[in-house]
Amino acid sequence: MRSLIFSALARPLFGLMLAVSVIILFRGHNEPGGGFVGGLVAAAGFAILALADGGGRARAALRVHPVELMGAGLLLSFVSGLPGLFSNGSFLTHLWITLPVGGGLKLGTTMVFDLGVYLVVLGGVLALILRLYEEPSA
């Protein structure tokens, strides 16, 4: 038995939570937040969809398998450490590039690492949540 009101509010809340999770992901460079917390907020958004409309709706919104998300996240996190390994011989020493856009926009390998952590956390939590919604086999 599902609530019509909860089901109707779940979709905009899901979009809002995904947007907030991306803000938290990007905010993590200089302030609290980052990939882990952002991934948890995104997973909570998918959990709300699953609670409101069932696990099938959350799977349809995800579009990829959670294990694929975890694999992509691990690959990104690993790749983010390679530039430091080749530049000064220390794996996961993060490098920064300053672009002459917007008064010196700084891009770094830490963002790639945080994105990898975001995907690993999102995939791991969703694998658990969606597994709980599966019907037990006889």
Query: Does residue 125 have a pLDDT over 90?
Result: yes
Q: What is the value of pTM for the model shown?
A: 0.87
CB 38 within 8 A of CB 22: yes
* Residues paired with residue 99 on neighbouring β-strands, in sequence order: 105
Backbone angles phi, psi at 30, to 5 degrees: -115, -15
CB 118 within 8 A of CB 38: yes
Tens of pLDDT, residue by residue over 21-58, are 999 998 876 676 789 999 999 999 999 999 998 888 89
Q: Which amino acid is at 12?
A: P
Tens of pLDDT, residue by residue over 71-114, are 999 999 999 988 888 888 788 888 888 877 767 777 788 888 99
* DSSP letters spanning the chain: ---HHHHHHHHHHHHHHHHHHHHHHHHTTTSS--HHHHHHHHHHHHHHHHHHH-HHHHHHHH-S-HHHHHHHHHHHHHHHHHHHHHHHS-TT---EEEESSTTTEEEEHHHHHHHHHHHHHHHHHHHHHHHHTSPPP-
CA distance 114 to 81: 12
How far from chain centre, in Å, is Cα 56?
20
